[in-house]
Amino acid sequence: MADFRPGTPDQEEFLRELLGAGYLIESGVPGVYGRGEAFERVRLGFDAKVTAASEEESPEHMVFPPLLPRRQMEDVGYLQSFPHLACTVFSFDGDEEQAAEQEHRAAAHEDWSDFQEMTDLVLKPAACYPVYPAIAARGPLAPGGVLVDAGGTYVFRHEPSGDPARLQAFHQREIVRIGEPETVVEWRNRWRDRSLELLRSVGLDAVPDVASDPFFGRSGRLLARSQRAQELKFEVLVQIAGPEPTAVASFNYHQDHFSAVYGLEMAADDGGDTTAHTACLGFGLERITLALVRTHGLDQEGWPAAVLAELGI
């Protein structure tokens, strides 16, 4: 596997512990694991904390499947920035003879991709992507814009790794803010601080940091430097396993990127329209769960009573 990232000894040992304790269930593919009951108790407990913290803002709730129309991935330029992470859906479209040959190759675990054609679907790489065209379809937004809770849905990124915190399929709890630039920036900064409170309330040593997305190639390195310089992305870091802390939450200010793609606009007082800006926050629920296990131990009965109460366990 050419793009596989081996884990450090510490990460590999932590993965063995998680599998042995039943928190994770082996699938045979790096970064793709089942979740045991103990894991899900913690994940859902923290997810509920995010819900409680956000409900005071009365967000609109939207739930989308883990699939995304391929056209949307193409429209937003995902393949320019993150071609190495994209997951595309293919399907068989042939005759009986080809179906038989496909099965013959598959039974021998040989390459059978010759018989597969690209569909109009991709696996969703971020929970927020379907929100922008859905809101844009409504027309110009009233002053103040909208807040959308996109839930804690599965997202997919092709980055197989021996690090248990770097998964190919994981739940991203995402909330999206669309509105005037100053409204969006204020919201993002407020939630950056709120996230620290949420994570620290369950005993995690969380710290914020200016960050950049994993853009691809030489031009991507330039984009990353610009993103950092403008402080368009913040992350919250927690030590899990390995030499460096791991990002468990991120806060992105997109400026007018998605508005330019989908025509998101704010209704102006004079009857005209102005471009809306967007931001999103995302909590990596699996990473937060792993951070809690790493911090408090494999035996949940021994966790601090205050932490268990915060998680509703």
pLDDT tens digit at each of 313 positions of the chain: 447 889 999 999 999 999 999 999 999 999 999 999 999 999 999 999 999 999 999 999 999 999 999 999 999 999 999 999 999 999 999 999 999 999 999 999 999 999 999 999 999 999 999 999 999 999 999 999 999 999 999 999 999 999 999 999 999 999 999 999 999 999 999 999 999 999 999 999 999 999 888 888 888 788 888 888 898 899 999 999 989 999 999 999 999 999 999 999 999 776 556 899 999 999 999 999 999 999 999 999 999 999 999 999 9
Q: Residue 197 belongs to a domain with what CATH number?
A: 3.30.930.10
Q: Please report the sign of the dihedral spanned by the C-alpha atoms of residue 67, residue 70, residue 71, residue 73.
A: positive
The answer to whether position 2 is within a domain reads: no
Give the separation between CA 16 and CA 10, rounded to whole angstroms: 10
Residues 284 and 240 in one domain: yes
Q: What is the DSSP letter of 5?
A: B
What's the domain range around 101?
90-123
Token pair in block for residue 281: 């926050």
Give the separation between CA 122 and CA 12, rounded to whole angstroms: 30
Position 97, amino acid: E
* Total domains in the fold of the chain: 2
Residues 114 and 245 in one domain: no
The answer to whether position 4 is within a domain reads: no
User: 251, exposed or middle or buried, with CB in 10 Å at 0-12, 13-18, 19+?
Assistant: buried
The answer to whether position 3 is within a domain reads: no
pTM of the model: 0.94
Pair 198, 190: CB distance under 8 Å:
no
Pair 266, 139: CB distance under 8 Å:
no
Backbone angles phi, psi at 101, to 5 degrees: -70, -35
Residues 220 and 103 in one domain: no
Q: Please report the sign of the dihedral spanned by the C-alpha atoms of residue 57, residue 58, residue 59, residue 63.
A: positive
Residues 100 and 55 in one domain: no
Nearest partner of 165 among 246, 84, 238, 86, judged by Cα: 246
The answer to whether position 1 is within a domain reads: no
Position 267, amino acid: A
Q: What is the DSSP letter of 55?
A: G
Nearest partner of 148 among 287, 282, 48, 254, judged by Cα: 282
Q: List residues bridging with 278 in a β-sheet.
A: 178, 255
The answer to whether position 248 is within a domain reads: yes
Give the separation between CA 97 and CA 106, rounded to whole angstroms: 14
Residues 53 and 13 in one domain: yes
Number of residues that this document lists for the chain: 313
